[in-house]
A = this chain, B = another copy of it.
Amino acid sequence: RANGARLWATILETAEFGGTPAGGINRLTLSNEDGQVRDWFRKACEAAGLTVSVDALGTQYALRPGRDMSRKPIAFGSHLDTQPTGGKFDGVLGVLAGLEVMRSLNDAGIETEAPLLVVNWTNEEGSRFAPAMMASAAYAGDFTTDEILAKRDAAGTTVAEALDAIGYRGVEAVGTREIGAFVELHIEQGPILEAEGKTIGVVEGGQGIMWFDGVITGFESHAGTTPMPRRRDALLALSEFALAAERIALHHAPSAVATIGEAAILAPSRNVVPGRVAFTVDVRDPRSETLDAMATALSEAAAEISARRHLKIALTRIWRKEPVPFDPAIVAAIDASAESLGHPRRRIISGAGHDACNLAAKVPAAMIFVPCKDGVSHNESESATQGDCAAGADVLLQTVLRLANA
């Protein structure tokens, strides 16, 4: 078993890096706060006798040798970056439980056949740089390292510059690190486990995701003198589009979701009819065909609104991640581990994207979920119990032992 109390203490300790007054964490990827927690993680891994290295996109790998060094390591972990209004568990639990697995094995003097590897993937959240799960996508070959290094945040800073600013542009070539299997522990970020009284979610796959960038170009004009019918108001067009996106998601209920998470008026002023609005759209469903149908419906809505309101709506798909099935053997190992520990469990599909979803294209991968309060995530009030975190770490430890000694 993992040491649940020690795991909990590290969760509280690292929550100080970017901690907010409301009890959450604002630790955007490659920010100074992200640099601080990375330094902490490196030192903790070294103190546990692990060999730490960093790849060209800043991902941290910490290796524990196995008896058979010809075997590929069994890897586990998640991410230490957060949303601007993030909580203490999203990503953090998976990395710190990985560290705890290493520490607990050390305490018990247990050697494994295969080596073990705990990983902290760069920019899982996708809030500062799009898309989300960026480094694991590059690892899996979806993007080249140079493509990722050139991506810019809203302030115009590139990933390359941000890596250099905190000293985390490593030398290891992305995607060259050998991995035999990948297991990720994470909070569910949804309401199902809590509602059904289950401690462990055995994750069978992740739903599909599309991200769009949108720009509406109307015409700035005077708020006091422009008659309502003559206006080409970009914010009213966005309003109709946002409500259309909600309707389109509800049409594919209960599985589909659609979200406009960012929307900004260019040069806003109280007495100017908004002329230009930039926005983002996040669309998800477990079925590929539903993603297609929703993309079509969104385009149709944009066309109808722009024709009626005499303005332009440009909608560009910047990312599409197909639904991912996890590896049945890893899923079975997780299930068997949860059963052996006696935890109430159920099979589940992930609503969020995760690094494991990218890894799955290249290596056998699956995930372990634990409940979070009211299913709330991407919120400073995100919460999970010490007991559930410990249960998740125990299932992770048992699964890793099964895979490493098989």
Which residues of A are at the interface with B, using a C-beta cutoff of 8 A? Answer: 26, 83-85, 125-127, 130, 132, 188-191, 207, 209, 211, 219-230, 233, 235-236, 238-240, 242-243, 246, 249-250, 253-254, 256-265, 267-275, 280, 282, 284, 350-353, 375-380
Contact = CB atoms under 8 A, between A and B. Distances in A.
Contacts of A376: 219, 221-222
Residue from A85, A233, A375, A380 having most chain B Cβ neighbours under 10 A? A85
Contacts of A132: 270-271
A220 B125 contact: no
B351 A222 contact: yes
A227 B254 contact: yes
23 contacts: A84-B268, A85-B275, A127-B269, A127-B271, A132-B270, A190-B226, A191-B227, A211-B270, A219-B379, A221-B376, A222-B377, A223-B257, A226-B351, A228-B249, A233-B259, A235-B242, A236-B246, A260-B274, A261-B270, A264-B265, A270-B282, A272-B378, A275-B379
One complex includes copies of this chain to the number of: 2
A311 to B, nearest CB: 14
Residue from A226, A257, A269 having most chain B Cβ neighbours under 10 A? A269
A269 B264 CA distance: 12
A271 to B, nearest CB: 5
A130 to B, nearest CB: 6
A224 B257 contact: yes
Given A262-B270, A263-B274, 8 more contacts: A223-B259, A224-B284, A225-B375, A230-B375, A238-B239, A239-B239, A239-B242, A264-B268
Contacts of A207: 224
Contacts of A273: 259, 261, 378
B268 A352 contact: no
A378 B223 contact: yes
A228 B282 CA distance: 13
A352 B239 contact: no
The 8 closest A-B pairs by CB, nearest first: A225-B351, A239-B239, A190-B225, A223-B259, A84-B267, A127-B269, A262-B268, A224-B352
A34 to B, nearest CB: 15
